Chain A
């Protein structure tokens, strides 16, 4: 057996996850702001930031879906060893990880129920790029507007239309991350 599945976790779990959580919480509270999170060295094709998010939030209570090429042995064993999270299909998951195209269709994930809208999936999207330009974001957490490079726009508009139900998104690239909760209104640059 290779050493890889057993390495790459947090060196000091309590401190590392506390520090990472604060960044992710700031990102979710201020949609579109880009934060740096470090401390995990997950196997390819997981990005370091994705690894940090999984280590911070996932445990045996949180079913995880691995989409597309992420559903490989290296990732499965790493997630299993470090978090103990069960690997499940999209309709059962609390967290889903993958590239945007591999995560489709969004209708496969739980968006909560009218009485429990919190019982919805959080999608961790491994983005090809993460930059403060592109789509225009507004809504709770945003003073005026933020800009964020999103893979598309319509999907997020439809998701926001389900409010208070809906999916929440975390975007990762390298050791950077940003978040987009269901409340954020996404518009094309130039649209009013």
Chain B
């Protein structure tokens, strides 16, 4: 497309974002401030992820976008089309074929490989924000490695509910130093953050922060010795593909309590169905 500069953003903006990404990779888990731009979509629709994707994209890439695991939701479709039009890149829905994957709130089920880049859309990058609203204070807490407040929050979960009830946006510690917000992925996905072959980049547009995890980085979910971290999911198989080990969405099917559980990762679920795995409700009318 000649109407736009490649990947929409102007070159000076991309240089600024690229410098932030480089420092983010050099200081894993630390939130690098960047001068986030207005994008042709509202804040909260992935403007941070879009800016990071635009800065890392090359014409040879194959681009995939998922929203809560799905390739076919409004947010995913519009961002995919945005880069088809402004960068002319090839797009795909197959996880293993993609070189750049932008994601909202999920990590694909299929393990990522070297050469792949996972770009997260982040609403609130500061894990301490709901505990301490002042940026000046949270910055000081990060610099002093003062994360006691986060453990108090998890402890209060235990005292109130008997277990750590935080089920998404579950805080992690990177390389024993920075406590990081993994974006609102379900805690089922937390073990997939650490020690992976792909590069993981996080972009928060409204909050103007970029952070990163290099490959093979140690990422530990915060917990207690007597209440160890547990990557939980609904205790059902997927009704479409029968998978027992994937993260499931609960779908309400009627107004009398009927519900079903399906894989949130549509590519994973469709690949399994194509390979002959059939769940209990596949082929039947869902209602």
Contact = CB atoms under 8 A, between A and B. Distances in A.
A38 to B, nearest CB: 14
Interface residues of B, number: 42
B11 A17 contact: yes
A121 to B, nearest CB: 11
Quick one: which of A29, A61, A164 has the most chain B CB within 10 A? A29
Contacts of A13: 11
Size bracket of the A interface? 35 or more
Given A15-B58, A29-B215, A141-B217, A56 B18 contact: yes
A164 B30 contact: yes
Contact of B56 (A25, A115, A122): A25
Interface in A25-47: 25-26, 28-30
Nearest to A164: B27
A17 B17 CA distance: 13
Contact of A141 (B20, B58, B59, B214): B214
A62 B25 contact: no
Contacts of B142: 115
A3 interface: no
A183 B30 contact: no
A18 B58 contact: yes
Contacts of B215: 29-30, 141, 143
A168 B7 CA distance: 28
Given A29-B215, A59-B12, A183 B27 contact: yes
Interface in A94-116: 94, 113-116
Given A118-B20, A183-B27, A21 B56 contact: yes
A188 interface: no
B115 to A, nearest CB: 8
A14 B11 contact: yes
A181 B175 CA distance: 14
Contact of A25 (B30, B199, B218): B199
Given A25-B22, A57-B18, 8 more contacts: A24-B22, A25-B199, A56-B18, A58-B15, A62-B19, A117-B27, A168-B22, A181-B27
B139 interface: yes
Contacts of A113: 143
B57 A18 contact: yes
A158 interface: no
B57 to A, nearest CB: 6
A30 B27 CA distance: 13
A95 to B, nearest CB: 9
A37 to B, nearest CB: 12
Contact of B26 (A30, A59, A61, A183): A183
Contacts of B21: 25
A55 B281 CA distance: 57
A62 B24 CA distance: 17
A122 to B, nearest CB: 7
5 contacts: A29-B212, A57-B18, A118-B23, A140-B28, A181-B25
Interface string A66-82: 00000000000000000
10 nearest A-B pairs in the assembled complex, by CB-CB distance: A181-B26, A141-B214, A114-B143, A14-B6, A118-B23, A140-B217, A29-B214, A168-B26, A118-B32, A115-B143
A110 to B, nearest CB: 12
Contacts of A19: 58
B41 interface: no
Contacts of B57: 18
Given A18-B57, A28-B26, A183-B26, A56 B214 contact: no
A183 B15 contact: no
B20 A18 contact: no
A135 B58 CA distance: 32
A163 interface: yes
A89 interface: no
A134 B14 CA distance: 35
Contacts of A181: 25-27
Contacts of A65: none
Given A14-B6, A29-B215, A141-B215, A118 B25 contact: no
A22 B58 CA distance: 8
Nearest to A167: B26
B224 interface: no
B178 A22 contact: no
